[in-house]
Amino acid sequence: MQTIFKGKDFITLQDWSKEEVDTLLEVSFDLKKKFAMGIDTPYLKNKTGMLMFFEQSTRTRNSMEAGLAQLGGHANFLDTSTMQVSHGEVAKDTGIILSRYGHMLACRNCDWGIGNDYLSSLAEHSTVPVLSLQDDLYHPMQGIADLMTIQEKREQTRNLQVSIIWAYATSHKKPISVPVTQSLLFPRYGMDVTLAYPEGYDLPDWVIEEARENAEKHGGSFKITHDMEVAYKDADVVIPKNWGSWATDLSEEEIEKNKESYKKWKCTEEMMEMADDDVMYMHALPADRGNEVEDSVIDGPHSIVYDEAENRLHTAKAVMTLTMGGK
Ligand code: CP
């Protein structure tokens, strides 16, 4: 078990060793049990964290704010439209100054080609740990909660058939950070991952290379298909979710032309019947109901989305406990 985390950034789980991720999960399970038993966990008494949001959030903001309060500390919610960032203050100045005021600096910036660079710049200049609340490439808070949820439902993750499936949505052009994080993380736990999407919705090449390396190293596998039915067939876990064509940048004309065929990429009861009898349906939420998924699936017996969302709290508390407190 690794014990030295204090000051460590949490921007991508790729920078955390397998042993470190294992410890993070153990601490998450411990905090979850204590929360259920009403046992106080004041591990971050009088510590302050800054939460900068360039975009909207329900789960991430509230799991971090509630989580830090439950650990005895306080979170400052910062809407960046009300900060001097909106007048052009650079990440260096923001990082240096906010880190002088507290013990952690967290940020969500999903702007394509900007977000991860912005967080890296904060981390370069911050004297306290920088935690990602999602950027254009990674969503480690979601990834660790997803892994915890799978582990608590299935004791064995080795050779679990997990399908990350593109789904049609109309709400907005969503980041690739959730499927990227899951594609990189799950093979490290021996899962057999299938990534399924219609032509044009590729993840960047380096993601596929790193996912395959992770699979090779840890005994999992990683494959790509453009056939949705292949992804559902016999799957133990399905994660149908929309993401934008960021890597390929499909034109509006192309998207419009293919719209009818994209609409078929919906998680329906018919698709779920092709999967394993005990298949679990997961989604980071918010879901585009009626487009990404039928209500009867997300509200049905295979859905574990609310447990998945709850685990955002326990894992966020574990990330903060280890990086802000500890040894
Ligand atoms: N899954 C997730 O990050 O949700 P929010 O956008 O509500 O934070």
Q: ∠ CA(42), CA(12), CA(97), 5° rounding?
A: 65
* 28-81: pLDDT as tens digits: 999 999 999 999 999 999 999 999 999 999 999 999 999 999 999 999 999 999
CB 157 within 8 A of CB 226: no
User: Average pLDDT for residues 229-235, to the nearest whole number?
Assistant: 98
* 176-205: pLDDT as tens digits: 999 999 999 999 999 999 999 999 999 999
Q: Which residues line ligand 1 (CB under 6 A)?
A: 57-60, 134, 142, 284-285
Please say if the pLDDT value at position 233 is more than 80.
yes
Please say if the pLDDT value at position 321 is more than 90.
yes
* pLDDT band with cut points at 50, 70 and 90 for residue 172: confident
Distance 98 CA to ligand 1 centre (A): 23
Tokens of 155: 């004791």
* pLDDT band with cut points at 50, 70 and 90 for residue 258: confident
**10 burial type by CB count under 10 A (0-12 exposed, 13-18 middle, 19+ buried):** buried
* pLDDT band with cut points at 50, 70 and 90 for residue 255: confident
Q: For atom 7 of ligand 1, which residue has the closest CA?
A: 58
Sign of the C-alpha dihedral computed for residues 292, 59, 181 and 157 taken in this order: negative
What is the best residue among 180, 241, 285 to mutate for testing ligand 1's pocket, by most ligand atoms within 8 Å of CB? Answer: 285
What is the best residue among 312, 315, 319 to mutate for testing ligand 1's pocket, by most ligand atoms within 8 Å of CB? Answer: 312
What pLDDT does residue 252 have?
Answer: 87
Q: For atom 3 of ligand 1, which residue has the closest CA?
A: 60
In angstroms, rounded to a whole number, what is the distance separating the alpha carbons of residues 130 and 201?
Answer: 30
What pLDDT does residue 198 have?
Answer: 96
Residue ranges and CATH numbers for the domains of the chain are: 13-139+310-325 (3.40.50.1370), 142-308 (3.40.50.1370)
Distance 26 CA to ligand 1 centre (A): 23
